[in-house]
Amino acid sequence: MRYRDVVDVYRDSDRFTSTRGNVLATLLQGHDSASGQMLAVSDGPRHRATRALLLKSFTPKALAPVISKVHARTRRLIAQAVDRDEVDFATDVADQIPINTIGDLMNVPEYDRPQLVNWNTMSLASDGAGGGELDEILARNEILMYFADLAEHRRREPGDDVVSALANGTIDGEPLTEDEIVLNCYSLVLGAEQSSRMSSIGGVLALAENHDEWRRFKDGSVGLDTATEEILRWTTPAMHMGRRALTDVEIGGQAIATDDIVTLWNTSANFDDEVFTDPTRLDLGRKPNKHVAFGLGAHFCLGAFLGRTHLTAALEAVRDLVRSVEVSAPPRRLFSNFVLGYTNAPVRLHGEPTGSAGQ
């Protein structure tokens, strides 16, 4: 599927639906248990109303108080990594950033956040082919039960956080159901946490492997904005999204029948040579760069601004504090057909001669 085909389907909510699943794992089963209740697998008026309710917590203005925390936390973690001989960038750095940001937005107690990271990773995939489906289901259920308890607490004692907004919000004068509250909490953690982690890990590995681009980035020849967008394209953490056809339609010359599954391969679209010049080359100064790492259309990722902020903070700290990046052992990929990334990334971050850990 070409870039133009992926974009067309993303934008066409009249002929394609997400309500029966939006990833192959659920589409191939024929249904999604969260259909019509979770933002990602709903369409129409209910989708728009739920999105509007959540969007209030994800505008740049609403997120402003947490942005400085993101940069400070990221810089501190990178400085600590520089001071050590070797780190696992996945677990020692990347795992610690997005979960704490979304944790701040949802007011999740800090001592619960590491467990949410573990459950989240297990719910999506494993780090090897031996991972069982039962483990994924159990991990997903743990997350849902956790947020059911948290939402009940926020009904009694609401605060200025996303969980409180869902637990006490209304649509057409009616409160959200418990399933809607819990499933959308799960979706927020899933999207914000995984995409930010994987783009940061993949970005550091890309800088280590592409010395010319690292030098351009390090000396300021390319800026943070274009570097961030190129790393998002290069890593494309969400490999695919899926839809069901609501009518007979043609895509790129291929006949699609009503009820057929259509898989939108973001990884293919983001490397389409009709849109991206020399797409298999990392170009941190690439312009334009209209990638689809966050999707498009009605289901464009709600946390896109936050995801960009996480990645920009990581790239900025690495640029300022690190002289060179060395991959010290082969990284281990996540075993998944949905999330593209790594569960393990051993690296050495060699610091600037003057030392920057305390800056």
Q: Is the Cβ–Cβ distance between 161 and 138 less than 8 Å?
A: no
Q: For tokens 């996945």, what's the residue?
A: 90
One-letter amino acid at 38 equals M
**How far is Cα of residue 195 from the mean position of the Cα atoms in its chain?**
2
Round to whole Å and give the CA distance between 221 and 328: 27
Round to whole Å and give the CA distance between 114 and 343: 15
On the question of pLDDT at 261 being above 50, the answer is yes
Q: What is the mean pLDDT of residues 266-283?
A: 98
The predicted pLDDT at position 68 comes to 86
Residue range 52-64, pLDDT digits in tens: 999 988 888 888 8
On the question of pLDDT at 131 being above 90, the answer is no
Cross-strand partners of 245: 16
Q: What is the mean pLDDT of residues 9-24?
A: 96
**How far is Cα of residue 39 from the mean position of the Cα atoms in its chain?**
15
The predicted pLDDT at position 355 comes to 45
Assign 262 to helix, strand or coil.
strand
Q: What is the mean pLDDT of residues 318-339?
A: 95
Residue range 183-237, pLDDT digits in tens: 999 888 877 677 889 999 999 999 999 999 999 999 999 999 999 999 999 999 9
Assign 208 to helix, strand or coil.
helix
Q: Can you give the pTM of this predicted structure?
A: 0.92
Helices marked H in 125-273: 133-156, 162-168, 178-209, 211-218, 224-235, 266-269
